[in-house]
Amino acid sequence: MLAVEALSLSFGGTVALDRVDLSVGVGEIHAVIGPNGAGKSSLINAISGLYTLDSGAIRIGDDRFTRVPTKRLARLGVARTFQNLALFKGLTVLDTVTAGLVDSQSAGLAAQILGLPTARREARAQRERAEAVIGFLDLSDVRDRLAGTLPYGVQKRVELARALVASPRLLLLDEPMAGMTATEKQRMSGTIRAARASGATIVLIEHDIGVVMSLSDRITVLDHGRRIASGTPAEIQADPAVIAAYLGLAFDEEAA
């Protein structure tokens, strides 16, 4: 579903990613972990076309790019969430989630303004789809609330709902559980598994090592912009380079 080929990215004199390779099979939950500043979010931003590569390429399905076209992301079957929330805080939850379907509209602007039957049918179908995803994520009780008035953990679920509403083939999740309680993380983990069961391939950035190990099929580890390991959770836990660079620190922090 996704292949990153020798991807390099720098900002001025700072190297964010240094010839990083990544391969994600169809239907996988593939986690990307590493210390702060390892290049995890830079990798997601490059995959979603927000950053221009210095070198390398990205393949999504059968399409290969040196820069992924952001305007084509939805049509490529790609959706994402952000490390820092990117919500329309002045819209209701229902309208925010429905906005995730904007690229699937086929009725023209004139048809929408005039309220022609095709536009009305399409709007009704989009609303029904948004309602279904809102129910799936247990957001029905806040569907008419403004997104910006909700607790942080609930806003994270709203952002995930907006990403899921278009039924993406590839779902990029940048720290979807940041700031959540243990109960909220458990609920979010179940949602991510359900998204995979519905047909999505998932790339996940997450700092909670317990969640990563229990949720992922495969894991790639970055350190200072370089890939230092890739494998199953069991292989990653036993890798001396990963333990030295990250896991020892991560497990100590989690225990604390």
**Domains observed in the chain:** 1-77+168-256 (3.40.50.300), 89-167 (no CATH)
Strand partners, 252: none
User: For position 102, what pLDDT does the model report?
Assistant: 75
Positions of E strands within 61-133: 63-65, 78-80
User: What pLDDT digit, counting tens, does each position of 65-109 carry?
Assistant: 998 888 888 889 999 998 877 788 889 999 999 988 876 655 555
pTM for this entry: 0.85
Q: Measure the CA–CA gap between 214 and 98, rounded to whole angstroms.
A: 31
Please state, in angstroms and rounded to a whole number, the distance separating the CA atoms of residues 188 and 167.
17
Low-confidence ranges of the chain (pLDDT < 50): 251-252, 254-256
> What is d(CA 86, CA 9) in angstroms, rounded to the nearest whole number?
23
In tens, the pLDDT along 203-218 reads 999 989 899 999 999 9
Q: 41-76 burial by CB neighbour count: b if 16+ within 10 A, else e?
A: bbbbbbbbbebebbebebebeeeeeeebeeeebbeb
Helix (H) or strand (E) segment spanning residue 94:
helix 93-98
88 within 8 A of 124, measured Cβ to Cβ: no
Cβ-count burial of 207 within 10 angstroms (0-12 exposed, 13-18 middle, 19+ buried)? middle
Starting at the edge strand found earlier in the chain, the sheet holding 55-60 runs: 14-24, 2-11, 55-60, 63-65
Phi, psi of 223 (to 5 degrees): -150, 120
For residue 15, the surrounding DSSP H or E stretch is strand 14-24
